[in-house]
Amino acid sequence: MKKMKIDFEAEFWDSYRKHTCLSLIDAFFEMDYLSAVKDRLFDIINYSTKCEVLMKDDPSLIFHYYLCMRSFIRASYVLQFKGEKWKVKCSPKFPSRLLQGSLSDEEYRNPFLVFEKAFKEFTLQEFEYFNTQIVYFSLGAYSDEPEANIVTLFIHLNKMLDSAQIIRERGLKKIKDKKTTSSE
């Protein structure tokens, strides 16, 4: 089976180097803190349903957000397949509800589940369309509202941001191949 390659299209916002999904997520969170990204996402969602324009003075920041989030969504799509080969290092003995964010206990222990669930319910194209749509409607004073189910997509994207941060903080370890462990 041929491996599918996805271009993360991060050249505009993070140089011209090649990225893996994990290095792209590192670059994404090095540029902005999780809380800042989530605040911007909330503002964009909020303004996409209003007849007001978000950041009239400097809309280029919203365009920059759009490009970064598009790359993040593409890296998240690839991450859903990494759960079979990689495992997040042990979680703290006493997890904090605050650090857990919007994740359930199971998702906090295995953040790859978030990506699997999200892309099981919606396709990569639907997430990209959602991103385009909310940015488009937040930059104009339109009386129309986004046509997609933006709440469910927003919740999934929020959880993906939390999960990516957990993966980044705890690190990964490779799962031992079941075939080699059973033959030993």
Q: Tell me: the pLDDT tens digits for 151-177?
A: 999 999 999 999 999 999 888 888 876
Mean pLDDT of 102-131: 94
Distance CA 130, CA 7 (A): 19
pLDDT band at 182 (very low <50, low <70, confident <90, very high): very low
Counting residues of the chain whose pLDDT is more than 90, the rounded percentage is 48
As a whole number of Å, the end-to-end CA separation of the chain is 28
Checking if the pLDDT of 93 tops 70, the result is: no
Distance CA 178, CA 183 (A): 9
Checking if the pLDDT of 96 tops 80, the result is: no
Q: Tell me: the pLDDT tens digits for 9-55?
A: 777 787 766 788 888 899 899 988 999 999 999 999 999 888 888 88
Distance CA 36, CA 39 (A): 5
Strand partners, 88: 172
Contact 25, 164 (CB under 8 A): yes
pLDDT band at 148 (very low <50, low <70, confident <90, very high): low
Q: What pLDDT does 174 receive?
A: 84
Greater confidence, 145 or 119? 119
